[in-house]
Amino acid sequence: MNRKVSVAPMMDCTDRHERFFLRLISKNVLFYTEMIVSEAISRGDKKKLLSFNINEKPLALQIGGSSPKLLSEAAKAGEDFGYDEINLNLGCPSKKVQKNKFGACLMKEPTLVADCLSKMQSSCKLPITIKTRIGYDNVEDYEHLHKFIETLKETGVKTFIIHARKAILGKFTPKQNLNIPPLKYDVVYKLKENFPNDEIIINGGIVSTIQIKDHLKKVDGVMLGRSVYHSPYFLSDIEKEIFDNDNVPSRQEVIEQLLPYIKDETKKGTRLNQIMRHTLGLFHGQTGSSFWKRYLSENMCVRDADIQKIDHIMDKIKLNNLNTSVG
């Protein structure tokens, strides 16, 4: 599994439509699903929750929960559906997540987490990984993080994705937790020094290929989040500069390749806005980007968007001189 660069699990962002769209731009970056709660997988419609398009791969399933039994069942279901990795969420700080006892609050219970991971690994053969933070509330000493990782490592987990911020539980909103706690990359670098034989992935505030290259000198991989969602074509720079792949489609070609998927999905009942909302940032930083966002917002990102308008979208791109070149 190549985890050199990945796109983080983001609620209401990295759904199957977003992942299909991003895969048109990048062939090498690893994608993660939105977090899916283990109880929902156990009791809900597995096909609806876990199905994906084969073209989205490589693809990891992120799950949340604190029941060893339910998490082991969810991991096995993920394997059965064809995912490449199962990731346990130990970093989400939202109040709703805490109430249900999963996410970052589980950093307080390493023994329980270790039990969950052991059960997950016994139920499936896929790599089991974790995503967590460097601390929580007033607990941010390196010794605590080191001991937490050491405890989880004893279960056989070898890949640790670390958001280089602590989580403020109960006080901050998820958005505030993405911005207010300071980034401390050195803490993640130190983890790699102390666990040289394990895979350490760094996450948080990474917005350029220069940063990616700098981080890769000190850790094994980089996980990106909002920088990709708001500017999807950033992945083209990553393909070229990190993976030495110059065979990247232009923005116009991306839309052209997306059209058959849109038509197929809408025939199945998917609303147009559920797909097109993910493309708002495609022309970010380019001439005509404001037109693109306005046109989509007014015509294709509304609940009752007219599917017939999709047939004219390429004409709109050309007539409004949108910059569609690669780069």
The residues carrying an active-site annotation are 92
* Residue 326 near residue 275 (C-beta atoms within 8 A): no
Q: Is 80 exposed, middle or buried (0-12, 13-18, 19+ CB in 10 A)?
A: exposed
Give the tokens for residue 259.
């059209």
* Ramachandran quadrant class, 204 (left: phi over 0; alpha: psi -120 to 50; beta: rest): left
Q: How far is CA 261 from CA 65, 268, 295, in A?
A: 33, 11, 20
Strand duo 59-64 + 30-32: pairing: parallel
| Token reading at 275 | 């797909």
250 phi and psi, to 5 degrees? -70, 170
ω into 58 cis (within 30 of 0): yes
Cα angle: 266, vertex 281, 182; to 5 degrees: 125
**If you write DSSP's letter for every residue of 236-302 in order, what string do you get?**
HHHHHHTS-------HHHHHHHHHHHHHHHHHTT--HHHHHGGGTTTTTTSTTHHHHHHHHHHHTSS
Distance CA 138, CA 161 (A): 21
Task: Name the region of 202 (left: φ>0; alpha: ψ -120 to 50; beta: rest).
Answer: beta
